[in-house]
Amino acid sequence: MGDRRGGARPPRGGVVFIAVGTPSRRGDGHADLSYVYTAAREIAAALDGFTVIITKSTVPVGTGDEVDRIIRETRPDADFAVVSNPEFLREGAAIQDFKHPDRIVAGADEDRARNVFAEIYRPLYLNKAPILYTSRRTAELIKYAANAFLATKIAFINEMADLAEEVGADVQDVARGIGLDNRIGSKFLHAGPGFGGSCFPKDTRALLQTAHDYEVPLRIIEAVIAANDIRKRAMARKVSAAFGGALRGKTIALLGLTFKPNTDDIREAPSIPLITALQDMGALVRAFDPVGMEHAKAILPDVVYCDGPYSCADGADGVVIVTEWEQFRALDFNLMKQRMACPLLVDLRNIYSSDEMERHGFLYVGIGRKVPSHALRL
Ligand SMILES: NC(=O)c1ccc[n+]([C@@H]2O[C@H](COP(=O)([O-])OP(=O)(O)OC[C@H]3O[C@@H](n4cnc5c(N)ncnc54)[C@H](O)[C@@H]3O)[C@@H](O)[C@H]2O)c1
């Protein structure tokens, strides 16, 4: 707990941030709040003077009320306020995003807490980040609504990608064509293998559970979760189709294991169900990821882990790009081709184009573009 300094008589108390994990609870998809409540009890025991307890963890609506109740019960004498301050930073860009947020949301029900909050965030506010003051419950819902909306954009463009493949359109041009409309915006419109990571899957599930508890149907979020689950499984069929439907005995080189670049996080990464399904279909999987391999080894032991993209391609019947790491954006395809048994690239992130890859003598399959018929004849 930090002291606020600067006055003639420094006030006791201060501010405590709760930023502990809120993973999906096993079985029902509710957010597991045990870490938050443990932290609340620990904070209660240490309270001394007016203290603002700021919850940064992503927590369901009503959690602030429960934290308040736990502290009041543990320390009836305490002078404190509980504020909801959801965090919107992106994993892999945490410091930059924390310092330059689009907005700061403060769910505080009393003025004393708002004043302390404003004082803490003054440097960011001066940096032009607007502070949006709301009720505590509203702030809690804002976080889930934001993540659910972004997840919806991804699921939406992924379904458009499936349709584009069938009708002979290019989903990247579709994304650009709609994204240039300011009402829509271009972000989160990159078709790919489905969203993963530590936030979108768990937060959409938790939002759905909250809605069930209040008997409010959230059909859109239900569809987003279902479409994303189906998509992750469908990626293996897409790879298999690129091989003409026969994977038994084939060696597949997978580039990228983390759910996105610039993190070592493989929680709910699309690479996991993809690899498992490819192995079930009889393929031998080799893999390389710049930082995610240590975590992956614990979950996917039967993979040949390699020390670079080129060694990964050694003897492979095809390469699959799963994560768009910077170092996969300018691969030397002459070298790749020399090392591979068959020059086939399945690009689940649309880093490359079929024209470019054909010039390198590769068979190329991307996302949301018509699959070339020669790939299916392999
Ligand atoms: N990762 C992100 O990009 C991101 C973005 C926005 C919001 N969030 C939210 O922030 C929260 C934390 O996410 P994370 O990815 O950092 O989780 P994490 O699991 O990586 O880290 C949580 C940390 O809390 C620590 N912890 C647990 N109980 C504690 C206690 N009583 N006292 C002190 N420390 C304790 C754990 O040891 C762990 O280091 C989650 O609610 C998440 O939804 C995360």
CA distances from 247 to 67, 115, 242, 251, 282 (A): 52, 62, 10, 8, 6
Q: What pLDDT does 352 receive?
A: 97
Local confidence band at 106 (pLDDT 50, 70, 90 cut-offs): very high
* Side-chain-facing half-sphere of 37: CA atoms under 13 Å: 12
Q: Cα–Cα distances in Å, from 266 out to 21, 25, 26, 197?
A: 16, 18, 18, 7
Give, for 128, the enclosing helix (H) or strand (E).
Answer: none
Judge whether residue 112 has pLDDT over 80: yes
* pTM summary value: 0.93
Tell me, using a 6 A CB cutoff, whether residue 21 lines ligand 1.
Answer: yes
For residue 377, what pLDDT band results from cuts at 50, 70 and 90? very low
For the stretch 244-268, pLDDT in tens is 999 999 999 999 999 999 999 999 9
Write the DSSP assignment of 179-248 as a string of letters: HTSTTT-STT----S---SSSHHHHHHHHHHHHHHTT---HHHHHHHHHHHHHHHHHHHHHHHHTTT--T
2 pLDDT higher than 70: no
265 CB less than 6 Å from ligand 1? no
State yes or no: pLDDT of 105 exceeds 70.
yes
Closest atom of ligand 1 to CA, residue 38: 31
Closest atom of ligand 1 relative to the 92 alpha carbon? 3
Kindly give the distance from the C-alpha atom of residue 233 to the centroid of ligand 1, in angstroms, as a whole number: 28
pLDDT band at 361, cuts 50/70/90?
A: very high
pLDDT for 263-311, tens place per residue? 999 999 999 999 999 999 999 999 999 999 999 999 999 999 999 999 9
The average confidence (pLDDT) of the chain is 93
Catalytic-residue membership of 199: yes
User: Residues with Cβ < 8 Å from 344, sequence gap 6 or more?
Assistant: 242, 243, 317, 318, 319, 362, 363, 364, 365, 375, 378
Q: 23 alpha carbon to ligand 1 midpoint, in Å?
A: 9
Query: Which pLDDT band, with edges at 50, 70 and 90, does 12 fall under?
Result: low
From the list 311, 309, 308, the residue with the least C-alpha distance to 320 is: 309
Segment 33-45 mean pLDDT: 97
Give nearest CA residue, ligand 1 atom 27. Answer: 20
Average confidence (pLDDT) over 150-179: 97
With a 6 A CB cut-off, is 91 part of the ligand 1 pocket?
A: yes
Q: Which helix (H) or strand (E) holds 137?
A: helix 136-167
pLDDT band at 26 (very low <50, low <70, confident <90, very high): confident
Residue 1 has pLDDT above 60, yes or no: no
Question: Once rounded to an integer, what is the mean pLDDT over residues 105-122?
Answer: 94
Backbone angles phi, psi at 160, to 5 degrees: -60, -35
Q: Is residue 241 scored above 70 in pLDDT?
A: yes
Query: Over 60: is that where the pLDDT of 8 sits?
Result: no
pLDDT band of 7, cuts 50, 70, 90: very low
Percent of the chain with pLDDT over 70: 94
Residue 336 has pLDDT above 50, yes or no: yes
Q: Which two tokens stand for residue 71?
A: 């502290």
pLDDT at position 96 is: 94
The confidence score (pLDDT) of residue 13 equals 63
Ligand 1: atom nearest CA of 39 is: 31
Rg over CA atoms, the chain: 24
